[in-house]
Amino acid sequence: MEKEVLVEVKDLRISATSDEGVEIPIVKGVDFNIHKGEVVALIGESGSGKTTISLASLAYTKPGLHFAGGEVKLRGDDLLSMDPLKQRSIRGAKVAYLAQSAAATFNPALTIGEQVTESAVLHGILDQEAATKRAEELYEALELPDPQLIGNRYPHQVSGGQLQRLMAAMALCGKPDLMVLDEPTTALDVTTQIEVLKAFKKVIHEENSAAIYVTHDLAVVAQIADHIVVLYSGEVMEQGPADQIINRPQHAYTKRLMEAVRPKPIAGLGTDVGAEHNRDTDNLEVREVTAGYGGNVNGEPKIPILKDINVSVKNGHVVGVIGESGCGKSTLARVMAGMLPAARGDIILDGEKLEGSLQDRKLSELQKVQFVFQMADTALNPKQLIGNIIGRPLEFYHGLKGKEKHAKVSEILEMVELPPEFASRYPMELSGGQKQRINLARSLAATPEVLLCDEVTSALDSIVGANVIKLLTNLRDKTGVSFVFISHDLSTVASFADEIVVLYAGRVVEQGPTDEVLVPPFHPYTRLLISSVPEMRIGWLEDTMQKREMAVGISRGVEMTSVGCPFYNRCPMAMDGTCNTTIPPILKLNDGHEISCHLTLDQLNEVEADTRRTLDAAEA
C-alpha cells in the first residue's frame, strides 16, 4: 500500500553568490519524496549539499546561499514561494530541526524547559501548561532522568547525550509533521550514540512523524532509515529503499562510500612496521603517572584525571588510546607533551627522564615529541601563509632559512601529499581534510620521533578520514616515527594501531598488542566499546541491545572513583564487596596483554561463551 506523500522536493536548486557576483550552484536539481511516517536519509561526504537540502524543507538557507529554483512542497503547499511570515509559521510547528551539536544549539542563558516549549507556545499549538506537560511526556519517552525537573535546569547542567535527546524533545514538542535531523549523533561517543539512536528511533515510531536524517555514516543510516538518497556535489547519485541501497548498491559512488565505512574492530587489520624501523626499544615511556588539574596538594592533583598510568611506545609503533570522552585520553597526551606536568611519575624519552613541564625541557627534547591537535581550524593561524606555518618549526628547531627552508617546505608538503603551491595559500582556502594535512605537516617539520595525534580524524567524514589514516601509515613506514593515536573511534584505531591502551576514568583497564586486545578475553569495558560500534547491517541496533553489557553499560556516564574499580557501576559482572572496594589486580596474559579486573581469566572466558549462547538464541 502506497503511503501518503508528505513532502515533495522537485528540481531543487540552491546557489551561492561569490564576491565577484558570480552564481555558484551548490544544489543542482534534486528530487525526492517523503511519505508519512518514513525516515529518509540524505547521505554523502562533506560538501555534497546534504545539510543545505535538508534546511530547504524549513525554507531556510545558510547566510550567503539562496534558492535558485524548484519547489519544496509540504502537503501540496510550496514552502519556497510562501511569504516570510508564513514560512516562519511553518518552522518549529510543521517542520522541526535538530542540529549536530546540541551543546551549541541550546541557548546557554535560558532554561531547557523554556527552549523546549518555546516553539509550541509561540505558534499557538499548545498553551504553556500543556506544552510543559507534553515536554515531560517526551522526556519520559526519551528516557531522560527526572522528567519533572529536568526542564528547570540550564543546558550546562546536563550531559552531552542528554542534551542531544533534549533537542529531540524540543523538536517534537510542537508535534511537527516532519523532523530534520542533521548529523545528530556524529559528535558523540559510540556508547552515547547507541543510546541516542535508540531513543530517536522509538520516538519517531511512537509519534508516527516523518524525518529527514542527514549523515555521512552509513552504519547509522542502516539502523534508522527507510529510504536513502545518495548525494554527491549537490546531485542525487542514487536513491531507493534502505535495504536496496545498503545491500545492493548500484552506483559507483555509493559503493565507494560503502568501502569507506569503518570496518568492524577486529584483530588482524593493522599493518606491520617496516623491518628497518622496527627496533624493539622503548621510545617514549610513561611510568606510574598520576596527573590532574587545579594544582597539587601533597603530591595529589586537586582534580585527579589520570591515576598510576603505565604506557610504553616502542620505536616506530602506533599506540592507540581509546575510551569515551572524559576518560583522560587528551590529558595523557598533554602529560606526554609536557603541557601538563604530572603530579607523580616519570616521562622517559629514549631512556632519558624528561622534565614534567614544557618550559624546562631542552629544545632537542621538544623537537622529538610533537603534538597534532584535533581541530585544524583552531590550530592553524588563519593570518599566516601555509609556507610560514610549516616554515616556523624548520627555523625554530633546525635553523633553516631562505631557499633551504623553502625547499624543505615543498618537500614536507609532498610528504603529506599536497602540491608545493599550497605554501602560498592561507588555511581558509583549504578543505577540512587538507587543513588536517597541514596540521600534520607542521608537526612533521620538526622531524619528531613521537607524534601525539589527538582525535585527528574525528572531525573528518569517513572518506577523508580514511585517507588521512592511509597517509599516517605511509609516514610511519617511510620515517619510522612513533604515534600515540588518540581516538574514541575503535574501528580506526583497530585498523591502524600496533598496540591499544584502553582508558577508563583515568586508569588503564586493558592494554596490549592490537590483535590480542581485540580478541577475547576482553575487559568488560573493552567489550562494551566493541559492541557499541555500529555495523552496516539493518537490525544491528536491536541485536546489540540484547547483549547484557548494554543493559547496564549504556545510559551511564564516566565517573572518577578513588576506591575500587571505576567501571563498577556500568559492569554487568560487577561483584559487590570486591569491585567497589578494592583496586583490581592486573591479569598478565600473552605478549604483554594486560587486563585490570577482579574476574579470573576463566570467568572472563565464561562470559564470552555465555554471550555467544544468548546471541545464538536470539537469532534462532
Contact set with other proteins (CB under 8 A): 55, 58, 60, 88-93, 96-97, 99, 101, 104-110, 118-119, 122-123, 153-154, 156-157, 170
User: Smaller CB distance to other proteins: residue 17 or 600?
Assistant: 17
Pairing of strands 482-486, 450-454: parallel
Cα separations in angstroms, 264 against 219, 255, 322, 493: 10, 17, 15, 11
Cell of 88: 516562519
Quote the least distance from Cβ 119 to other proteins, whole Å.
Answer: 4
By C-beta, is 159 or 388 nearer to other proteins?
159
Enumerate residues 6+ apart whose C-beta is below 8 A from 420: 409, 410, 413, 414
> Could you tell me which residues are beta bridge partners of residue 486?
321, 454
CB of 83 to other proteins, least distance (A): 14
Q: Compute the least distance from the CB of residue 610 to other proteins, in Å.
A: 38
When the beta carbons of 51 and 487 are compared against other proteins, the nearer one is 51
Task: Measure the CA–CA gap between 267 and 530, rounded to whole angstroms.
Answer: 12
Nearer to other proteins, 122 or 348 (CB): 122
Q: In whole angstroms, how close is the CB of 271 to other proteins at the nearest point? A: 39
**Smallest distance, Å, CB 82 to other proteins?**
12
Could you give the CA distance from residue 213 to residue 227 in angstroms, rounded to a whole number? 10
Helices and strands, counts by H and E, the chain: 23, 22
Give the Å distances, CA to CA, from 404 to 14, 276, 394, 411, 447: 47, 28, 10, 11, 16
Strands 65-74 and 39-43: unpaired
Q: Which is nearer to other proteins, 52 or 239 (CB)?
A: 52
Q: Residue 494 or 558: which CB sits closer to other proteins?
A: 558
| Residue closer to other proteins (CB basis): 110 or 130 | 110
Residue 46 or 105: the one with the smaller Cβ distance to other proteins is: 105
Alpha helices in 356-461 (DSSP H): 363-368, 376-379, 386-398, 402-415, 432-444
Write out the DSSP string of 318-386. Answer: EEEEE--TTSSHHHHHHHHHTSS--SEEEEEETTEEEPSSGGGS-HHHHHHEEEE-S-HHHHS-TTS-H
Q: How far is the CB of 92 from other proteins (least distance, A)?
A: 4
The C-alpha cell 548525494 sits at 231
Q: Which residue, 92 or 265, is less far from other proteins as judged by CB?
A: 92
What dihedral do alpha carbons 515, 520, 524, 529 form, nearest 10°? 50
Give the shortest CB-216-to-other proteins separation in angstroms. 19
Cell of 522: 576482553
CB 152, min distance to other proteins, A: 9
9-to-62, 72, 74, 206, 281 alpha-carbon distances in Å: 18, 5, 9, 25, 61
Q: Supply the minimum distance, in Å, between the C-beta of residue 76 and other proteins.
A: 20
